[in-house]
Each structure stands twice: as structure tokens, then as C-alpha cells.
Structure 1
Amino acid sequence: MKKVAIFDIDYTITKKETLMEFFKYCVKKDIKNIKFLPRALYCGVMYSIKVYDEKMVKEKFLKFIDGIEEQDLEELVEEFYSEKLTSILYNDAINMMKKLKSEGYDIYLISASPEFYINKFYKIKEVDRIIGTKFKFDKGKFIRQMDGFNCKGEEKVRRLKEFLKQENIEVDFKESYMFSDSLSDKPLLDLVGKPYLINYKKKHEFEILKWR
């Protein structure tokens, strides 16, 4: 029976929110993408007043890469990973992955962020599995349509158990870890015997770790 250490990504292993960093990186690559900034701000407002859910926000926000060729997107996210994502990782998160990997744990990253770029975290040699929000491609081009549900909350648990069932993996959840910055991950935090909140600002029954 396996033991797993599950990590959220945004603000858990990274210092910043990765989707916004991706947009900023695309603006840096091509300043014409700045025209999509009002759309991003509008989506944020619509989400804050509960007109848009997260699925709609992401589908509308990703207009700046709508229709990009799959190969071009792959090259873009490869550059994004090497030039930006690696610079915003918490050293403490990477050290924890190395420690737990050496103790026999499988390392899973489970995030609501899009898989098309968080899959680059497989470059971290300790990472065994990445589960994120999927998006569709049509005739080799990216389309702003989510494939399934936003990978958040209970959906993270469902996706994890779906993967474990497909791979015929049995997990000792009582001996497993979960690390997250947010109580939106409470379903996963409650699933394991060793839950931790990362840089959480308030007191909580879950132990809080300060990562830098």
C-alpha cells in the first residue's frame, strides 16, 4: 500500500498565482497581449460578485491564447516554466518533496490550474503525478473550453480517486500528507492523516507551516 504526499500548487509550492503569472509572461513576450488586461479585470469583478463561476472565468480569461497551435503552446509553456515558474518556487516546498520522497512517499501535485502548463512540474524529479484542470484542443489548436470540471475542492478528491482506481493503486491515506495554502482544499486535507496549511494567516486546527 502506497503512502502519498499531496501538494497544491498556487501559493503552496509557488509564491504567486500561476495563471496570472502566465498571462503576464505572455504580455512580456508580446506586448499586444496587454489588450486582454481589461478582460482579465472584468472577469475578476464578475467572479467577486458571483456572476461568473471559476469555470467561466478561466474560459473567458484565456482568450489571449485562444486558437494557438498545440506545438506553439508547448514551446510557450516550456519557456514560461524555465524563465518564470522555476523562480517562484518555495525552497521549503521542494525540500519537503525531497524529504518525503526519500522516506518512500509518492509525490502528487493536484491543482485547479491548467494542466497544459503545470505538467511542466514533472521536471521536478520527485514528482510522480500531476492532476489539474484540463482544457480541450480542436484540430491541433487550443480552445477556451474546459474538459470536465474545474479541479478544485471535492473535484480534486474525485480526480485523485479516479486516477488511483485506473492505475489500481491502493493508498494508506492515514499515513499520507496534504499541503495547501487554502481551506478550499479541505476535502483533501480531511482525506489524509497528516494535513498542513501553508502560510495560513489565521489560527486553525490544522498545523500551519511557514514556507519561504
Structure 2
Amino acid sequence: MEKLAIFDIDYTITRKETLMEFFKYLVSKDIKNIKFLPRALYSGLMYGVKVYDEKRVKECFLKFIENIDEAELAKLTKSFYDEKISKILYKDAVDMIKKLKKEGYMVVLISASPEFYVKEFYAIKEVDLIIGTKFTFEGGKFIRKMDGNNCKGEEKVRRLNKVLKEKNIKVDFKNSYMFSDSLSDKPLLDLVGNPYLINYKKKHEIEILRWK
């Protein structure tokens, strides 16, 4: 049976929230993209007052890449990882990934962030599997439509189990690890025998690690 080392991404292995960093990166590449900032702020406000759920917020926010060619988006996400994301990784997170991989664990990254760019974390050679929120492409173009549910909370457990079943992987969850900065991941934290909260600000029964 496989033992898993499961990691959330935003604020768990990165110091910043990656979707906003992606927007900022595209603005740095073309200042004209700044015109989408009011939309980003509006969608955030609507989420804050509980008018929009996270699915609608993301579909609204991603207007800045609507209709982009899939091949062009792939080039952008690679350069985004190389030029930006690779610079905001917690060293302690990368060290833990390498340590657990060396000990024989299957390393899984699972995030609510869009899979079209979190897949670039395969650049970390120890990573075996990446699961993120899926979006739709039609005719080779990106459209702002989520494919399925936002990959958060219980949905992370469902997506993980689905992929494991498809790959016919049997898991020893009792001896597996899960790392997250947020209790929104409690369904996954409860699934494993070794759960850890990363840089969590309040006291909690789950052990808290301070990563830099």
C-alpha cells in the first residue's frame, strides 16, 4: 500500500496566494490587464458579503485570460512558475517534500487553485500527483467555466479518492501525512494519521509547524 504525503499549495508551500500572483504577473507582462482589477475587487467584495460563492468568484475573476489559446496559456503558466512561483516557495515545505519522498512516500499536491497552472509544480521533481480546480477549454480556447466543483474541503477528498481509484492505488492513510494552512482542509487532515497545520495563528489540537 502507498503512503501519501499530501500538501495544500497556497500559504502551505507558497508564501502568497497564487491566483492573485498570476493576475499580477500578467499585468507585469501587459499593463493593459490592469483594466481587470475592478472586476477582481468586485468579485472579492461579492464573496465577502456572501453573494458569490467561490466558484462564481473564480469564474468572474478569470476574465483576464478569457479566450486565450490553450498553447499560449501553457507557455504563460510555465514562465509564471519559473519567474514568480519558484521564488515564493517555503524552503521548509520543499525540504519536507524531498524528505518524505526519500522515505518512500507518494507526494500529492492538492489545491483549490486552477489546475491549468498548479500543474507547473511538477517542476519539483519529487511531486508525483497534482490535483486542482479544473476549468473548461472549448475549441482550444480557455472559457471561464469551472469543470466540476471548486476543489476545496470535502471536494478535495472526493477528487483524491477518484484519482486513486482510477490509478488503482491502495493507500495506507493511517501512516500518511497532510499539510495545510487552513481548517478548510479538515476533511483531508482528518483522513490521515499525521496531520499538520502550517503557520496557523491560533492554538489547535492539530500540531502546528512554522515554515519559512
Q: Indicate the TM-score class for this superposition, using the shorter chain for normalisation.
A: over 0.9
State the Cα distance separating 1:97 from its structure 2 match: 0.5
Map Cα deviations across residues 46-69 of structure 1 (whole Å, 9 max, x no partner): 001100000000000000000000
**1:48-127 equivalent positions in 2, closer than 5 A:** 48-127=48-127
Q: Partners in 2 of 1:79 and 1:164 — Cα distance? A: 30
Q: Partners in 1 of 2:144 and 2:5 — Cα distance? A: 31
Q: Partners in 2 of 1:57 and 1:43 — Cα distance? A: 5
Q: Partners in 1 of 2:71 and 2:205 — Cα distance? A: 46
**1:1-212 equivalent positions in 2, closer than 5 A:** 1-212=1-212
State the Cα distance separating 1:151 from its structure 2 match: 0.2
State the Cα distance separating 1:41 from its structure 2 match: 0.4
Q: 3-state SS of the aligned residue for 2:142?
A: strand
Map Cα deviations across residues 94-130 of structure 1 (whole Å, 9 max, x no partner): 0000100111000000000000000000110000000
State the Cα distance separating 1:7 from its structure 2 match: 0.1
In the alignment, structure 2 segments of 5+ residues that lack a partner are: none
State the Cα distance separating 1:183 from its structure 2 match: 0.2
Map Cα deviations across residues 30-84 of structure 1 (whole Å, 9 max, x no partner): 0000000000000110001100000000000000000000011011111101000
State the Cα distance separating 1:14 from its structure 2 match: 0.1
Matched AA of 1:123: A
Matched AA of 2:184: S
Matched AA of 1:29: K
Q: TM-score, normalized by length of structure 2?
A: 1.00
Q: Partners in 1 of 2:79 and 2:103 — Cα distance? A: 32
In the alignment, structure 1 segments of 5+ residues that lack a partner are: none
Q: 3-state SS of the aligned residue for 1:127?
A: coil
CA root-mean-square deviation = 0.4
Q: TM-score, normalized by length of structure 1?
A: 1.00
State the Cα distance separating 1:86 from its structure 2 match: 0.1
Q: Partners in 2 of 1:96 and 1:78 — Cα distance? A: 23
Q: Partners in 2 of 1:21 and 1:114 — Cα distance? A: 12
Q: How many residues align?
A: 212
Matched AA of 2:8: D
Q: Partners in 2 of 1:12 and 1:172 — Cα distance? A: 23
Q: 3-state SS of the aligned residue for 1:56?
A: helix
